[in-house]
Amino acid sequence: MCEFGADGRVYYPTEDSSWSAPGPAALGFDPGRLAEAVDFARVHETVWPHDLRAHLEKGAFEEGPSNAILGPTKDRGAPSGVILRGGRIATEWGDTFRADMTFSVAKSYLSIVAGLAFDRNLIMDLDEPVVVHGRSLADDAGYDPPRNRFITWRHLLQQTSEWEGTLWGKPDMIDRHRHIMGRKGTQPKGSFRALAEPGKFWEYNDVRINRLALALLQLWRKPVAAVFRDHFMDVIGAGAEWRWHGYHNSTVTIDGQPMESVSGGGHWGGGVFINARDQARVGLAMLRGGMWRNRRLLSQAWIERSLEPCPLNAVYGLLWWLNTDRQLYAEASKESYFAFGAGYNITWIDPAHDLVVVLRWIRDVDVGRFIGLTMKALA
């Protein structure tokens, strides 16, 4: 299904106040069953406390002193979400205008920024080593050690870089043996693991993601948050409330100007603070293959690359989670893909059913059930 308006064009929202919301039945849902899915999301609220800073400091991800907070935090809101079909609002719940922390949703947004660079030939080849990309990284010693200089953009975007070092006071060792989406390390998180060659081992690692964020800053010679705003968020009509933060110690000098390098998550504060409706707009632009009305934001070639399964982890693309062979969620279509953030913050994109679903502050173990209820609501 791809919803067309009265003029025969694919629908895109303009201002939030005029966003088409014809109701569940008009968009092919059984209203009662969809209400059941929403009620389920409301009731199965995350166990995370509202005081996120205290939660992080108590060891939500790491024990002290590795858990030191470096960036801004914000108390979380209540469960909220929005379901789009054909770009139109079928239903929403909670405060969808409240900007909250999104944790690793920022990683998928970094993928978009990398795509913007790829489409402008700032990145000529994903398999090009980052260290030899000319002036963009000429002043960065982070890729100089023998093993790090072979790291490519693809390695960073697929989380197979095995980058070794310390960035913003956080060593990559913090996230070795990380447990994520059912994949478990063989030793406790943060313990030693002999590193493989770049591209030979998959591991979810926020320090290495922050390395990618810094590389993109140096590539663009402009703050990543500003790139994302100018070339993407402003075009899709996102509000003025969203922010993308770095850390108190992540400012670097580029071309004589101080610029903050953003965070790819919220472990140590920072990251993307955004509301559910703006998350839905991002998801809709992805669902539409990088288009927003008559303007192309991302090339179809980049979208396809983003959704290619990593050979070392079939449910991971270029910082997007994939539902390859329905391995993540049997209840969702195999075409589905996701931006995930701890807590749980989710953007679920389903091209097979023209769906974008934003789900905030639900328990991680209940996501599959919510997806199942939503799919059952499709008449």
Q: What are the φ and ψ backbone dihedral angles of 267, each rounded to 5 degrees?
A: -50, -45
- The whole-angstrom distance between residue 206's C-alpha and the CA centroid of its chain comes to 12
Q: Looking at the predicted structure, is the pLDDT value of residue 346 above 90?
A: yes
> Cβ distance 248 to 74 under 8 Å?
no
Q: Looking at the predicted structure, is the pLDDT value of residue 132 above 60?
A: no
Q: What is the pLDDT of residues 173-231, one digit of tens each?
A: 999 988 787 777 778 888 899 999 999 999 999 999 999 999 999 999 999 999 999 99
Q: What is the pLDDT of residues 303-312, one digit of tens each?
A: 999 999 999 9
Q: What percentage of the chain reaches a pLDDT higher than 70? A: 94
Q: What is the pLDDT of residues 141-166, one digit of tens each?
A: 677 667 788 899 999 999 999 999 99
Of 17, 36, 34, give the one whose Cα is nearest residue 26. Answer: 34
Each domain of the chain, given as residue ranges in start order, spans: 19-105+272-376, 107-262
The identity of residue 272, as a single letter, is: V
Q: What is the pLDDT of residues 17-65, one digit of tens each?
A: 999 999 999 999 999 999 999 999 999 999 999 999 999 999 999 888 8
The identity of residue 143, as a single letter, is: Y
Q: Looking at the predicted structure, is the pLDDT value of residue 313 above 50?
A: yes
Separation of alpha carbons 253 and 271, rounded Å: 20
DSSP per residue over 289-345, as a string?
A: TTEETTEESS-HHHHHHHTSPBTTBTTB-SSSEE-GGG-S-TTS-TT-EEEEETTTE
Q: Which two tokens stand for residue 288?
A: 């539409």
3-state SS class at 170: strand
Q: What is the pLDDT of residues 92-124, one digit of tens each?
A: 999 999 999 999 999 999 999 999 999 999 999
DSSP per residue over 91-142, as a string?
A: EEES-TT--EE-TTHHHHHHHHHHHHHHHTTSS--TTSBGGGSGGGGTT-GG
Burial class (CB in 10 A: 0-12, 13-18, 19+), 144: exposed
Separation of alpha carbons 371 and 307, rounded Å: 20
Of 334, 324, 332, 379, give the one whose Cα is nearest residue 357. Answer: 332
Instruction: Return the pLDDT at 135.
Output: 38
Instruction: Return the pLDDT at 177.
Output: 85
Report whether CATH 3.30.420 matches the domain 19-105+272-376.
Answer: no
Q: Which two tokens stand for residue 129?
A: 């080593």
Q: How far is CA 309 from CA 48, 240, 246, 296, in A?
A: 31, 34, 29, 24
Q: How far is CA 44 from CA 246, 257, 294, 334, in A?
A: 31, 46, 40, 25
